[in-house]
Amino acid sequence: MSGADRERLFLGNAATTAAGTHSVSDTRELLATIGRVVAIDSPVYCPGVTELEKTAAALFPVRVDDYAAAAVTVEEVFGAVAETGTIVCVSAGGRAVQAGLLPAHHVAIVRRERIFGTLDDLFAAVSGSPPTNITLVTGPSRTADIELTLAIGVHGPERLDIILV
**Can you tell me whether residue 69 is helix, strand or coil?**
helix
**What are the sequence ranges of the domains in the chain?**
3-164
Q: In 3D, which of 29, 130, 60 has the Cα closest to residue 88?
A: 130
- Residue 2 pLDDT > 80: yes
Fold of 3-164: Rossmann fold (3.40.50)
This prediction has a pTM of: 0.91
- Residue 147 pLDDT > 90: no
pLDDT digits (tens, 9 = 90+) for 47-79: 989 999 999 999 999 999 999 999 999 999 999
**Can you tell me whether residue 28 is helix, strand or coil?**
helix
| Least confident stretch, 25-39, 57-71, 128-142, 144-158 | 144-158
**Can you tell me whether residue 122 is helix, strand or coil?**
helix
